Amino acid sequence: MNSRPIAVFDSGLGGLTVVRALRQHLPHESIVYFGDTARVPYGTKSSPTILQFAEQDCRFLMRFGPKMVIVACNTASALALDELTQKFDLPLLGVVKPGASEAVRQAHGQSIAILATEATVASQAYPRAIHELAPRTPVTQQRCPSLVPLIEEGRSSDDPIMLMLLNEYLDGIRQLDPAVVLLGCTHYPLVAEAIARLMPQANVVDSADATARWAKQMLAQMEILSLSTDPGRLRCYVSDNPQRFREIGGRFLGQAIRDVTWITPEQFFTDDSSPPANPSPASFAPAARVA
Ligand code: DGL
């Protein structure tokens, strides 16, 4: 059991920020990552669609016999974690509860602002999780639909368009004068620096780091931490465009990504429950452009 991998899934490459934190806190664990790059973004989709996608992603990862599944996508955690927990018989961890509890810890009873995708904001999952821990904490939310594509485009904390956009989004939460700004989306840690500069009085809290610490604690409590002293292996599977995942994902992971396999729809939706075979290098060719 101890040597089994931790499975992680996300709507695309953003979940690599969670993998990055996992590798810092749990360097000897092997990780199997699935990024649903064919169907990203989840943050603009309806609840039934997100539920269906999350279940399919989780089912795919079951083929690797994981000891735990981490739902790295905030949107999927917010909307699907409860259903997944009922359907799959293994420990599942999302990013909402760890993020909310870290925000509450750092807010010391003061107000908390959450930045997230449209679907995460609409689900009210973060305010609910915060109020379960601290019922009187004032909470506000701001949806930031344009941040994900701009961050993937490579616009960072110093980019003028990014700063202009962040300023506008942060205007929505400034009147609450939050003690904590909670980054409720996998992509936002990449512009945490700009958010901290624009909201100097607030602590910027990242769900990814809190989730990795929770994962470590859960594995230790269940006595299924890896016993290996070697660095854990990271294998990535994506439902489209491994080339792009490799190129852009490095910024999210904080290091180059080597092991990426493209899963075709036939491989993804098959009834076969064995792990997919590694394809030939030819499968990594970029998708042909349709004129
Ligand atoms: N991974 C998603 C999240 O954390 C952001 C990208 C998307 O909308 O799918 O909510």
* pLDDT tens column, 215-274: 999 999 999 999 999 999 999 999 999 999 999 999 999 999 999 999 999 999 998 888
Ligand 1: centre distance to CA 73 (Å): 6
pLDDT of residue 278: 62
Residues 6+ apart with CB under 8 A from 107: 134, 137, 178, 179, 180, 203
Q: Which atom of ligand 1 is nearest to the CA of 15?
A: 1
Phi then psi dihedrals of residue 20, to 5 deg? -55, -45
Decide if pLDDT at 203 tops 70. yes
Task: State both tokens at 141.
Answer: 């939310």
Task: Note the Cα 132 to chain centre separation in Å.
Answer: 22
CB atoms within 10 A of CB 164: 9
* pLDDT tens column, 114-151: 999 999 999 999 999 999 999 999 999 999 999 999 99
Decide if pLDDT at 5 tops 50. yes
Decide if pLDDT at 285 tops 50. no
Instruction: Please pick, among 58, 144, 185, 236, the residue that the annotation labels catalytic.
Output: 185
Decide if pLDDT at 181 tops 60. yes
Q: Which domains does the chain have, with CATH numbers?
A: 6-94+210-283 (3.40.50.1860), 96-207 (3.40.50.1860)
Alpha helix (H) residue ranges in the chain: 16-25, 47-62, 74-87, 96-107, 118-123, 125-133, 147-152, 160-174, 192-198, 207-221, 242-253, 265-268
33, 74, 146, 147: residue to mutate for ligand 1 pocket, most atoms within 8 A of CB: 74
Q: Which atom of ligand 1 is nearest to the CA of 117?
A: 10
Say which DSSP state 283 is in: G
Cα–Cα distances in angstroms (integers) from residue 1 to residues 32, 91, 122, 275, in the given order: 15, 13, 38, 17
Cα–Cα distances in angstroms (integers) from residue 124 to residues 106, 111, 115, 146, in the given order: 20, 16, 12, 20
* pLDDT tens column, 94-117: 999 999 999 999 999 999 999 999
pLDDT band at 281 (very low <50, low <70, confident <90, very high): very low
Cα–Cα distances in angstroms (integers) from residue 95 to residues 8, 103, 256, in the given order: 11, 12, 24
Residues in contact with ligand 1 (CB, 6 Å cut-off): 10-12, 14, 40-43, 73-75, 117, 120, 148, 185-187
pLDDT band at 171 (very low <50, low <70, confident <90, very high): very high
* pLDDT tens column, 8-60: 999 999 999 999 999 999 999 999 999 999 999 999 999 999 999 999 999 99
pTM (2 decimals)? 0.94
Q: Is 144 a catalytic residue?
A: no
